């Protein structure tokens, strides 16, 4: 075994504080090198088959090399969780490589198929990524809601509380703060008194296109402070601070403080000569400044003038370690985009890549021998064994698994169907949850509901009355105490199981993402249910996609939906969401018509969101009360409801026509079917509960060369028979059914903005009423293939 011998004593030296700083500086160098090299390799050295630029962000990566080295190699504890700004992915991979959690092979295939991902991905890069990032702003918001999820679990003692809580840390680009979702989260976080949250802002004053406005960041710290955050600004490094302390040094500080972002960036790019020219012009009258000029050649002057605290390991460590309490803290770290690289500070450097010559020069300056580019410690002053030992000894390396395996929550075999001859799916949902709330089951204990100010109007009232609202502190229900009559009980406490949000659907989806990852993140599963109005899914859609992208598991209940919420009008009516239900990966969608279907599906959903290869589930529900079928769902029918469709009225042998409906238009479809049956007694009525499941199954079955659920169902009709599909949604949701078995299809649905009205008027105007279905049936029959049997007869 190799040992480092010190002073001939034969004693293995531990990492002293001074050594630690040297190690960290060496590793910072290596992280910068590896991230830059990884991108270079992908763009210049790997075969390129399609002529596309591979990309990667050398400048954005260089900007955070110091901050991330400090975090990962010194500051992070095993329970901390991090969202890394998307464009620092190469730095992240380099760090994981040095920690032994990433392979060289994957680095060599960075941005290639099966290689290290362009932006850190929980599902594709695996274990080491706590939060995926990519769409700027969302990772930052996610940390805030993860801290809320952690509080929820700890205050209920659902996770062990012997260890201190983890810090939820976002490493954000400064331009990420242009994204409104961050401020929506900030306000919500203030209301919930979030803790253990760090946002480290890489303030390189550049975005993708340009240098960012000077004026904006002047307001940012005040904004955070207003929300109760501590703001720590890391502006100048030790070299600059020492220069400021010299005679006339304060003039230099004032000069830099007043220097516009764009000029500072341009001078960073120009280097020593550029600084000298400007400083000479502005400050040469001060003898102390002239002395500083004399002490620095162009190279050291450049080093001095770019010595911002975000690149000064000492300053960064001091700032991070100084925070010992749980108050949310925003670090504004001044950095330089492309620090240490030839395009440092250049406004166009976001997508810039070093060319072959520049890389060669950089390799030499890094003292990395040719052929040793991937070696973890090549070119560093410290002996490799000591660096390796230092890395092995880090708490992060020693902690083992970063993701928890959380035990599943038992789900009862059935949920009892809410009684009522007429009811809406929304009402049934409220009553189903109300019944669960009244039970003493593990399921009831682990459900957590949340809603962006539509708790009552989406029918969560019964659940909330029984399970209470979550808050860090006990808060009485004032109306109740004052004996004011209300159907809602709004007492708040740490035991509450509903998290009430302000009206920001993006926050809803981020909170669902955080709660839906509570198992792997914190070790205990929660079963989150979020409710909102169907059209406002679009408001939260990027966050919803983000939640699904990282495989968070939750149930989204969207209600009311479609033009069926009639008098509310076009601004509240949804049209395209069922297409989202089909198209969104990681999300299975259902639109049941009846309460008994919903009971089957909700029970299934509680299992589905816990299955290893499962998905989140989206229910599109309605406020329209409709007559319920008098029946008991047997296991076969339950299976069909889950699979996505069943014959509500079986077609007769060789049927020429079927009507397929989905959701709240069931009464119109039933009436049309009855009317049609007078002429075509064999006509079938197909109940569709999930266009999404049917569509997926159809494609998967075709790929296997088999007939899927839809094909088997439609095989009951004669070949080429007429098929009318109808739903309160865009007709494309079901029009694909015509391709399954070659039926003559007329898809009905809504493809224009809605408007106020009642259901009869609106269904007529948008062509989904009984008459429209009958007209469509007649048209479909005309275009259907002629019936060979009849002709030959
Ligand atoms: C939602 C979203 N919009 C646009 C982009 C494209 N984009 C990638 S990086 C970037 C600028 C980021 O600037 P900043 O956050 O300051 O990061 P830096 O590269 O300076 O570290 C933009 C607009 C994106 N990734 N996500
Ligand atoms: Mg920036």
In short, whether 173's Cβ falls inside 6 Å of ligand 1 is yes
In short, whether 216's Cβ falls inside 6 Å of ligand 1 is no
Instruction: Specify the residue with its C-alpha closest to ligand 1, atom 7.
Output: 208
Rounded to the nearest angstrom, the distance between the alpha carbon of 119 and the centre of ligand 1 is: 12
Tokens (6 digits) for 709: 């659920």
Tokens (6 digits) for 19: 């050594």
Q: Which of 65, 118, 208 has most ligand 1 atoms within 8 Å of its beta carbon, as the pocket-test mutant?
A: 208
Coil, helix or strand for 649?
strand
What is the number of the ligand 1 atom nearest to the C-alpha of 64? Answer: 21
Contacts of 506 (CB under 8 A, 6+ apart): 141, 181, 184, 185, 539, 540, 542, 543
Q: Is residue 779 within 8 Å of 746, Cβ to Cβ?
A: yes
> How far is 727 from 730, CA to CA, in rounded Å?
8
> How far is 294 from 600, CA to CA, in rounded Å?
81
Q: Is residue 559 within 8 Å of 620, Cβ to Cβ?
A: yes
Instruction: Specify the residue with its C-alpha closest to ligand 1, atom 12.
Output: 207
Rounded to the nearest angstrom, the distance between the alpha carbon of 208 and the centre of ligand 2 is: 7
Rounded to the nearest angstrom, the distance between the alpha carbon of 204 and the centre of ligand 2 is: 5
For 732-785, the three-class secondary structure string (H helix, E strand, C coil) is HHHHCHHHHHCCEEEECCCCCCCCCCCHHHHHHHCCCCHHHHHHHHHHHHHHCC
Q: In angstroms, what CA-CA distances link 655 with 144, 333, 679, 720? A: 57, 72, 12, 10
- pTM of the entire structure? 0.96
Tokens (6 digits) for 39: 């991108």
pLDDT of residue 8: 33
Q: Is residue 175 within 8 Å of 217, Cβ to Cβ?
A: no
Report DSSP state, residue 527.
Answer: E
In short, whether 208's Cβ falls inside 6 Å of ligand 1 is yes
Cα 272 to chain centroid distance, Å, stands at 43
What is the number of the ligand 1 atom nearest to the C-alpha of 119? Answer: 25
- Interaxial angle between packed helices 691-704 and 635-643, expressed in degrees from 0 to 180 and rounded to the nearest 10: 90
> How far is 253 from 259, CA to CA, in rounded Å?
10
Contacts of 484 (CB under 8 A, 6+ apart): none
Alpha-helix residue ranges (DSSP H) falling in 229-297: 238-244, 249-258, 261-270, 272-283, 287-295
pLDDT of residue 793: 32
Flag residues of the chain having pLDDT under 70: 1-17, 400, 787-793
Cβ-in-10-Å burial (0-12, 13-18, 19+) of 792 comes to: exposed
Contacts of 705 (CB under 8 A, 6+ apart): none
pLDDT of residue 791: 41
CA neighbor of 706 nearest in space, from 745, 740, 742, 744: 740
In short, whether 136's Cβ falls inside 6 Å of ligand 1 is yes
> How far is 461 from 463, CA to CA, in rounded Å?
5
> How far is 113 from 217, CA to CA, in rounded Å?
39
CA neighbor of 424 nearest in space, from 728, 733, 734, 752: 728
């Amino acid at each position: 075994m190799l040992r480092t011998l010190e002073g001939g004593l034969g004693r293995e030296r531990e990492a002293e504080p001074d050594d630690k700083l040297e190690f960290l500086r060496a590793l910072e160098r290596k992280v910068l090198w590896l991230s830059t090299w990884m991108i270079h390799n992908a763009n210049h050295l790997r075969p390129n088959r399609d002529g596309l630029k591979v990309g990667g962000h050398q400048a954005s990566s260089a900007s955070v090399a110091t901050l991330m080295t400090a975090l990962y190699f010194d500051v992070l504890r095993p329970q901390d969780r991090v969202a890394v700004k998307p464009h620092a992915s190469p730095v992240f991979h380099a760090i994981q490589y040095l920690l032994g959690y990433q392979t060289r092979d994957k680095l060599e295939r960075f941005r290639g198929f099966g290689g290290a991902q362009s932006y850190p991905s929980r599902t594709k890069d695996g274990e080491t990524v706590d939060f995926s990032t990519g769409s700027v702003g969302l990772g930052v918001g996610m940390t805030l809601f993860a801290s809320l999820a952690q509080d929820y679990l700890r205050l209920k003692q659902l996770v062990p509380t012997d260890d201190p809580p983890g810090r939820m840390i976002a490493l954000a680009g400064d331009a990420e703060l242009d994204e409104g979702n961050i401020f929506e989260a900030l306000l919500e976080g203030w209301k919930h008194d979030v803790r253990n949250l760090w946002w480290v802002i890489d303030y390189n004053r550049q975005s993708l296109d340009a240098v960012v406005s000077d004026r904006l960041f002047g307001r940012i710290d005040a904004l955070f402070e207003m929300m109760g955050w501590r703001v720590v600004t890391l502006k100048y490094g030790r070299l600059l601070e020492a220069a400021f302390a010299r005679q006339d040094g304060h003039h230099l500080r004032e000069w830099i403080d007043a220097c516009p972002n764009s000029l500072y960036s341009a001078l960073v790019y120009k280097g020593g000569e550029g600084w000298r020219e400007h400083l000479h012009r502005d400050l040469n009258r001060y003898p102390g400044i002239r002395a500083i000029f004399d002490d620095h050649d162009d190279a050291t002057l450049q080093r001095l003038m770019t010595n911002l605290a975000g690149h000064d390991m000492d300053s960064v460590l001091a700032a991070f370690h100084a925070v010992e309490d749980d108050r949310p803290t925003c670090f504004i770290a001044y950095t330089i985009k492309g620090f240490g690289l030839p395009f440092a500070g250049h406004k166009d450097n976001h997508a810039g890549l070093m060319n072959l010559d520049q890389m060669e020069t950089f390799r030499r300056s890094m003292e990395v021998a040719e052929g040793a580019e991937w070696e973890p410690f090549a070119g560093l002053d410290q002996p490799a064994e000591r660096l390796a030992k230092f890395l092995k000894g880090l708490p992060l390396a020693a902690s083992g698994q970063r993701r928890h395996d959380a035990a599943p929550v038992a789900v009862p075999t059935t949920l009892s169907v809410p009684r009522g001859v007429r009811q809406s799916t929304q009402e049934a949902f409220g009553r189903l949850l109300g019944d669960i709330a009244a039970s003493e089951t593990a399921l009831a204990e682990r459900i957590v509901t949340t809603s962006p100010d539509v708790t009552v109007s989406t029918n969560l009232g019964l659940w909330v009355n029984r399970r209470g609202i979550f808050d860090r502190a006990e808060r009485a229900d004032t109306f109740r105490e004052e004996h004011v009559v209300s159907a809602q009980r709004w007492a708040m406490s740490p035991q509450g199981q509903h998290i009430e949000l302000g009206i920001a659907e993006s926050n809803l989806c981020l909170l669902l993402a955080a709660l839906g990852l509570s198992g792997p993140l914190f070790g205990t599963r929660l079963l989150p249910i979020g409710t909102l109005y169907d059209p406002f899914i679009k408001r939260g859609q990027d966050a919803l996609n983000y939640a699904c992208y990282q495989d968070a598991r939750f149930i989204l209940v969207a209600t009311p939906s479609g033009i069926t919420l009639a008098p509310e009008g076009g601004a509240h009516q949804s049209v395209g969401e069922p297409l989202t239900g089909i198209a969104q990966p990681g999300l299975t969608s259902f639109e049941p018509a009846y309460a008994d279907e919903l009971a089957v599906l909700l029970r299934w959903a509680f299992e589905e969101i816990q299955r290893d290869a499962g998905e989140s589930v989206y229910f599109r529900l309605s406020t329209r009360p409709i007559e319920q079928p008098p029946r008991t769902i047997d296991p076969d029918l339950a299976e069909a409801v889950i699979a996505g469709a069943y014959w509500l009225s079986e077609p007769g042998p060789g049927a020429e026509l079927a009507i397929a409906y989905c959701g709240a238009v069931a009464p119109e479809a039933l009436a049309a079917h009855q009317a049609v049956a007078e002429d075509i007694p064999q006509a079938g009525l197909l109940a569709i509960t999930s266009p999404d499941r049917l569509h997926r199954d159809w494609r998967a079955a075709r790929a296997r060369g088999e007939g899927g659920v839809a094909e088997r169902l439609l095989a009951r009709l004669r070949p080429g028979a007429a098929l009318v599909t109808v739903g309160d949604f865009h007709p494309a949701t079901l029009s694909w059914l015509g391709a399954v078995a070659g039926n003559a299809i007329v898809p009905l649905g809504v493809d224009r903005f809605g408007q106020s009205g009642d259901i009869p008027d609106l269904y007529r105007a948008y062509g989904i009423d009984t008459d429209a279905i009958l007209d469509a049936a007649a048209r479909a029959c005309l275009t259907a293939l002629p019936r060979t049997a009849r002709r030959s007869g």
